[in-house]
Amino acid sequence: MMKPTLLLLSYLPDSLMQRLHEHFVCHLHASLDANQFMLLAPTVRAIVATAQSSVPRALIKQLPALEMISIMGVGYDGIDLEAAREHNICVTNTPGLSTEDIADFTMGLLLCAARQIHTADQFVRRGAWETGRYPMTARVFGGRMGIIGLGRIGQAVALRAQAFGMSIAYTGRTPKTDVPYRWCDDALALAASVDYLVVCASADAQTHAMINQAVLAALGSRGVLINIARGSIVDQDALVTALRDGTILAAGLDVFCDEPHVSQALKDLPNVVLTPHMASTTEASVAAMLDLTFTNLAAYFAGQPVLTPVI
């Protein structure tokens, strides 16, 4: 029996590549020129992508034999799900495996931004401590946290925030009946009532640029924004202005609008912590995601149910 052909949209760890090569014929999209891709396209039966990958309708239409899109990660906002449904394509992801790591990282970003750990480190390194003490910073313990999107990750963040004595409020598509936290109708109302605004929502048309100038103004001059969800949820220009003008105190960002490119305007600001979309990438989480990505592919082509279907 011929091995199914896979199109890989990203470089994948060697441990997964070795397993994939044993069971599939693998081609890295980035290494193909236009003619090579045209020759390969009719044979591709599955795409392996990451949560940052883009699979638009145009690409799906170029792959007439495509049956499956396997995403190594939680997010699938880069996948045209409508086109996948129309072509009866199975889409899978790897949810839940990195929840605790992302929640840990969220609190790390919050502490770093609010307590200015990154700039304090630079203060020591350049010898400034020898001429005076570092300025006072904001208190985190006992603060008010607002969470946009109280899914698995949002609830894990809330649990950690409670250990810091924080009160929790949230907003999302609908209020939840099984949590003790205060519900707000929208992001504007939530921002106006908290000190720390944490974005954990999924990216879609409803959440695009949800964190805009009005929300940032409502968060206020002592407020801190943390985004570990998707860059598109925050109006980046409005955020730069808010940070530059002191509309908000600080921000911590692990996600951006045009990854891996980060605007120079953000890089130039001292009151924002920037990290390279790494909240989920611990050794334990990545190993588990690799295993599930392979398991979903192997199950599908063996005629068995996939473990984590999106559609």
Query: What does the domain layout of the chain look like in residue ranges?
Result: 5-97+284-301, 99-274
Report, as residue numbers or ranges, the catalytic residues. Answer: 230, 259, 277
Q: What is the pLDDT of residues 122-166, one digit of tens each?
A: 999 999 999 999 999 999 999 999 999 999 999 999 999 999 999
Q: Note whether 145 and 169 are within 8 A (CB).
A: yes
Predicted confidence at residue 130, as pLDDT, reads 97
For residue range 203-243, what is the model confidence (pLDDT) as tens digits? 999 999 999 999 999 999 999 999 999 999 999 999 999 99
Instruction: Characterize the bridge pairing of strands 5-8 and 44-50.
Output: parallel
From CA 209, how far away is CA 308, in angstroms rounded?
29
Q: What is the pLDDT of residue 152?
A: 95
* pLDDT tens, residue by residue, 238-259: 999 999 999 999 999 999 999 9
Instruction: Establish whether domains 5-97+284-301 and 99-274 are of one fold.
Output: yes
Distance between the two ends of the chain, CA-based, in angstroms?
27
The pLDDT score that the predictor gives to residue 51 is 86
CATH architecture for segment(s) 5-97+284-301:
3-Layer(aba) Sandwich (3.40)
Query: Using CA atoms, how far apart are residues 184 and 171, in angstroms rounded to an integer?
Result: 5
Show the tokens assigned to 99: 């929840």
* Token digits of residue 170: 């949230």
Q: What is the pLDDT of residues 31-77, one digit of tens each?
A: 999 999 999 999 999 999 998 899 999 999 999 999 999 999 988 98
Residue 1: pLDDT over 80: no
| Two structure tokens written together for 212 | 């805009």
Q: Say what the alpha-carbon torsion angle 159, 170, 72, 40 is, to the nearest 10 degrees.
A: 180
Average confidence score pLDDT of the chain: 96
Domain 99-274 matching CATH 3.40.50.720: the answer reads yes
Render pLDDT for 260-300 as a digit per residue (tens, 0 to 9): 999 999 999 999 999 999 999 999 999 999 999 999 999 99
Distance from C-alpha of 233 to C-alpha of 236, rounded to nearest angstrom? 9
